[in-house]
Amino acid sequence: MSVGAVAHRDVLRSMELFGTQVAPLVREELARREAREDQGPTDAEPQGARELTASSADSSISASDSAI
């Protein structure tokens, strides 16, 4: 994570959001994909049909936090 001329409090807030918002979503998605790989592709849902979207992460982060 590049910090350059970013204020220390903003870097800390960014790290906090990464740990509390982003990392859990990534872990959940990786576990979901691993479980689906173990089962193999199904006819109802072609492989790669569902992807993690930024909007799912954005819904829990306020506008003031996204400006960091």
For the stretch 24-33, pLDDT in tens is 999 999 999 9
Domain boundaries, the chain: 1-39
Q: How confident is the model at residue 40 (pLDDT cuts 50, 70, 90)?
A: confident
| Side-chain-side CA neighbours of residue 3 (13 Å) | 9
| Angular region, 47: left φ>0, alpha ψ -120 to 50, beta rest | beta
Give per-residue pLDDT as tens, 47-67. Answer: 555 555 555 545 555 545 555
Nearest to 28 by CA among 60, 66, 3: 60
Indicate the average pLDDT of the chain: 76
Q: How confident is the model at residue 45 (pLDDT cuts 50, 70, 90)?
A: low
Residue 56's alpha-carbon distances to 8, 24, 65, in angstroms, are 27, 12, 15
